[in-house]
Amino acid sequence: MPRVAVDILTPKQALLFKEVTRFLEENGADVHCTTRRYFEVEEMLRRLKLRAAVIGSHGGASLRGKLVAHADRLGKMSRFYSRLKPDLVVSFSSPEAARAAFGLSIPHLTVNDSPHAAAVAKLSVPLSSLLLTPWIIPRKEWTRYGIEERKIVEYRALDPASWLKKFKPSKSALDEIGLEIDRPILTVRPPEYLAAYMLGKGDEAVRDMANAAKRLLRSRPEFQVVVLSRYGRASKYRKMFGKKAFVTDKVVDGKSLLKYSTLFIGAGGTMTAEAALLGVPTISVFPGKTLVEEYLVKEGLVAKADKGLYGCILRQIEKPKDELRSLKK
């Protein structure tokens, strides 16, 4: 029986690797999952009923904090793999999993759809035996990080398709937050400001989101605004978005919430792709470009708020109903 170690560092990775571990176990593999001390991913793992050993912690927003946490976790992961002796290590470009596996001569398979996350890619991609990536990402985006082209395997899907394929929405997600199903819902997901590629860029995007949401509530009071908080920032977001907004302070059933949303505003991350694939009118305020987002914009599934977020919101919610029905298909 092959033994596979899977490292899970974010909620998106928990959703993706839940499907991967199920497939591996159904095909006879002995799977052992690891994660790090990080509230959002631990909560998601609990919701998914996916067991994982907690090793190390998130380094926070500073570069020094990330470096210290990485060094500490690398040592702990090395000891864990030395005891476990896996035949294969799988991760979404986890720097610690990649380096520990490489150092112990264990094959490392990485999945990655984010070549814009350069710091993580530099620390994991060149050490990987194989890289699995969506077909829309040119191979040159990966070979510049040092991996040979022959080690790149493409799949014809966006990552959220793996967990949305059999997804059935639950109205209990609305009850959990206190939303009314017969009123329109604007769901907002602030940027991943702790990610290395977002350092120093997220605050302005959140201010734009908050100002636009408050304007919408004044002009369209029938709307309900939900803000999916990050990293214990609920109190800050409550001040920014105002008392009329619903600000979550825990992980919720995001997929179901998106399915019942009238409109979604994100920052180009996983939920932006999820909303688009679910047929929900979607706006991105990501301050840069990602290849996945560019593809979704090109396909007409995501709108960029380049000319003002509030105006973009109005254009999306005032689209003809037949156009929205076509989008949902």
Which residues of the chain form CATH 3.40.50.2000? Answer: 3-164, 172-328
**From CA 227, how far away is CA 237, in angstroms rounded?**
8
Question: Which own/partner contact pairs does 160-165 have at CB distance under 8 Å and 24+ positions apart?
Answer: 160/15, 160/270, 160/273, 160/274, 160/277, 161/277, 162/15, 162/16, 162/19, 162/20, 163/15, 163/16, 163/18, 163/19, 163/255, 164/255, 164/274, 164/277, 164/278
Q: What is the DSSP letter of 249?
A: S
172-328 domain in CATH 3.40.50.2000? yes
What is the tally of helices (H) and strands (E) in the chain? 15, 13
Q: How far, in whole angstroms, is CA 294 from its chain's centroid?
A: 16
Angle made by CA atoms 213, 47, 65, in degrees to the nearest 5? 70
CB atoms within 10 A of CB 302: 24
CATH code of the domain occupying 3-164: 3.40.50.2000
Q: What is the pTM of this model?
A: 0.89
DSSP-H helix ranges across 105-260: 118-124, 140-143, 161-164, 172-177, 202-219, 234-241, 254-259
Q: How many residues does the chain have?
A: 329
**From CA 22, how far away is CA 165, in angstroms rounded?**
15
Distances (CA, A) of 113 to 120, 164, 240, 270, 291: 12, 17, 32, 10, 8
pLDDT in tens, the chain (329 residues): 899 999 999 999 999 999 999 999 999 999 999 999 998 899 999 999 999 999 999 988 789 999 999 999 999 999 999 999 999 999 999 999 999 999 999 999 999 999 999 999 999 999 999 999 999 999 999 999 999 999 999 999 999 999 999 899 999 999 999 999 999 999 999 887 655 545 555 678 889 999 999 999 999 999 999 999 876 778 889 999 998 999 998 888 999 999 999 999 998 889 999 999 999 999 999 888 899 999 999 999 999 988 799 999 999 988 765 454 444 44
Instruction: Look up residue 277 and give its two tokens.
Output: 């694939």
Q: What is the DSSP letter of 288?
A: S
Instruction: Look up residue 208 and give its two tokens.
Output: 């734009």
The H or E element containing residue 15 is helix 11-26
Is-contact 107 88, C-beta < 8 A? yes
